[in-house]
């Protein structure tokens, strides 16, 4: 199962898993795009693709997907929690409604779907959950944004749960990419035109590295050497240094998003 499966990293996961012979369940809000994506994958790879139109920022949407994850007659072996959003405004200029929606999608839905999937996986003795986080979660490098805080939760949560289920043969991993060519920034209205070309990753490469790291039983995957260096710096550099980097990044892009 892949959430946010019709574009970007989610679509790349769907293609790669289909290529490896997995039957898929795709989750997204747009029913028409879901149907088009499912038809394309079925035609190209000869697999079965189910679709679940659902808004995971709502209780109803989460409940729909939870029910499918708990269906023991059609067990889900791999769950990719990819759906997420950001906001192109600082916290003090935001609204309770928008911030709550971000947290419900980036945090609450990840918690609920992971919890729905893991009991069956641990009982069967195998399975994997990949929670798509971000390099931004390793430090408050986006002044005034709650996006990085939500992704810090995803990474910490994934590492903690991974340790608890590892003895049962189940893997949980946080995937933490940097800037990736997707619809993510456009949908949030974030101008990324000044971001250097060398900083961008391809969604297909992010997915390839993620599945490789999952096979290596890693709890956190940071694709590409340059972002591994960024994460090392965020974890070990003096606070004043990464705060200076954050100010510079904000000046170049208007809002840094990973």
Q: Out of 22, 45, 151, 227, pick the active-site residue.
A: 151
DSSP for 89-149 reads S-GGGS-HHHHHHHHIIIIIHHHHHHHHHHHHHHHHT-EEEEEE--GGGGS--STT-SHHH
Residue 47 · residue 41 · CB < 8 Å = yes
Does residue 211 contact residue 36 with C-beta atoms inside 8 Å?
no
DSSP code for 200: -
Place of tokens 């997204």: 28
Which pTM was predicted? Answer: 0.88
What the block records as the tokens of 115 is 């919890």
Asked if 141 and 245 count as a contact pair (C-beta separation under 8 A), the reply is yes
DSSP helix/strand/coil, 49: strand
What residues does 26 pair with on adjacent strands? 2, 51
**CB contact at 8 A, 42 and 24:** no
Which letter does DSSP use for residue 219 in this model?
A: S
Q: What is the per-residue pLDDT for 145? A: 86
CB 144 within 8 A of CB 102: no
CA separation for the pair 72, 236 (Å, rounded): 44
Per-residue model confidence (pLDDT) at position 188: 47
Residue 89, burial from CB neighbour count under 10 angstroms (0-12, 13-18, 19+): middle
Active site residue 227: no
Residue 216 DSSP one-character state: T
pLDDT of amino acid 198: 60
**Residue 45: active-site member:** no
For the chain, 258 residues long, the average pLDDT of each consecutive 10-residue run is: 96 97 97 96 97 98 98 97 91 95 98 98 98 91 85 98 98 94 55 61 95 98 91 73 55 37
Domains of the chain are 2-253 (3.40.50.720)
Q: Is 208 exposed, middle or buried (0-12, 13-18, 19+ CB in 10 A)?
A: middle
Catalytic residue among 22, 45, 67, 147: 147
- Contacts for 249 with CB less than 8 Å, ≥ 6 apart: 141, 142, 256
């Amino acid at each position: 199962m892949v959430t946010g499966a019709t574009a970007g990293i989610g679509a790349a996961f769907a293609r790669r898993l289909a290529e490896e012979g997995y039957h898929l369940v795709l989750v997204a809000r747009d029913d028409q795009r879901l149907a088009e994506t499912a038809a394309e994958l079925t035609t190209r790879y000869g697999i079965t693709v189910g679709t679940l139109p659902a808004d995971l920022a709502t209780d109803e949407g989460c409940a729909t997907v939870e029910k499918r994850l708990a269906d023991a007659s059609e067990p889900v072996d791999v769950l990719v929690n990819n759906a997420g959003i950001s906001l192109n405004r600082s916290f003090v200029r935001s609204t309770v409604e928008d911030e709550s929606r971000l947290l419900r999608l980036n945090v609450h839905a990840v918690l609920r779907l992971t919890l729905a999937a893991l009991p069956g996986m641990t009982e069967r003795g195998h399975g994997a959950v990949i929670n798509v986080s971000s390099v931004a979660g390793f430090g408050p490098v986006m002044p005034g944004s709650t996006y990085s805080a939500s992704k810090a939760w995803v990474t910490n949560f994934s590492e903690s749960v991974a340790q608890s289920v590892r003895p049962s043969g189940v893997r949980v991993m946080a995937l933490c990419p940097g800037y990736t060519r997707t619809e993510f920034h456009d949908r949030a209205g974030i101008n990324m035109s000044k971001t250097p070309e060398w900083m961008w990753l391809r969604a297909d490469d992010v997915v390839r590295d993620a599945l490789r790291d999952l096979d290596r039983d890693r709890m956190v995957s940071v694709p590409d050497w340059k972002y591994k260096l960024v994460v090392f710096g965020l974890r070990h550099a003096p606070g004043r240094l990464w705060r200076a980097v954050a100010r510079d990044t904000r000046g170049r892009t208007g809002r840094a998003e990973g």
